[in-house]
Amino acid sequence: MPTFDFLQLDVFAARLLEGNPLAVVIGADALDGPAMQRIARWTNLSETTFLLRPTRPDADYRVRIFTPRQELPFAGHPSVGSAYAAIEAGRVPLKGELVQECAAGLLPVTVQGEGATRAIHVQAPPARIETVDEALAAALGRALKLDLRPGAVHAIDNGPRWIVCDLAAAPAVRTLAPDLSAIAALCEAHAAVGVSVFGTEAGGDAAMAVRAFCPADGIPEDPVTGSANAAIGALLRHTGNLAHYGSRYIANQGREVGRDGRVEVNVDQGSGTVTIGGHCAIGVRGTLRLDDIAGA
């Protein structure tokens, strides 16, 4: 019976039950894509990752990332959590800089601290930002049940494709009760993984409130979303609004679903490079047993 080391951890939180859960299957080179997809459907988390031997000499490890419905070339919380898991499992050398290989390419990873205080920061792929047409913006307004400001909506691709909406202030983000069926239809029609909204926090340790809805992938609301936060950081630079938050800021996400995640976002004003990061907390260490790899 094939067995694999298995971790489940919370990402973007220093304490368990406050972040976004991630399942990590370690040393999964014997599994093919369909088997990985079936395991991701079984864990039923927003993402499940599979740690593999790298195929590039300049990479420290390779990761494949699956939602319950599809494989993603990049996602933020799976990248942060997989790097943390690779260190915990002894799959990578203990050093301050790592390189992750994934379908989006080679991504630099920075490791700060040790053990429970360890923080992981991952460079997101370059973002392609599009201004959406009036029909999409109007459809999103109906789905969010809001009158949106002109220019508030953009489509951003940084591995996954997001529809991102600036709601200006945190109260509009916090009180949102969207039509999830309409959001699912909108995402399917525009090949987007989800809709993300953000607004300025008036006080506290976080500068921004963020929410992300991915009902087309079976995830009504994602607790804490790295790629969406990276997309927002890229958008702020693109629109000239980065000064309002600063090139380094903390986004809070997950409160509306009983979490309290913190995402550290760093935007290089010159190059446009965006890194996202935070802490992790391991909740489960175990073994995944499969009777039949091909039929997994």
User: Which amino acid, 134?
Assistant: E
The CA distance from 155 to 108, in Å, is 25
* Run of H or E including 139: helix 134-144
- On whether the CB atoms of residues 61 and 101 are closer than 8 A, the answer is yes
Measuring CA to CA, how many Å separate 76 from each of 21, 224, 277, 292, 293? Answer: 12, 9, 8, 31, 28
- Asked about 47 being catalytic, the answer comes back as yes
The CA distance from 125 to 102, in Å, is 11
User: Which amino acid, 165?
Assistant: C
Q: What angle do CA 197, 182, 49 make, to 5 degrees?
A: 60
Q: What angle do CA 255, 121, 187 make, to 5 degrees?
A: 55
Token representation of residue 274:
């965006």
Catalytic residue among 18, 47, 88, 221: 47
Task: Name the 3-class secondary structure at 30.
Answer: coil
Q: Which residues contact 151 (CB under 8 A, 6 or more apart)?
A: 131, 239
The distance between the two most distant Cα atoms of the chain, rounded to a whole number of Å, is 58
The CA distance from 93 to 5, in Å, is 18
Token representation of residue 217:
């992938």
What residues are labeled active site? 47
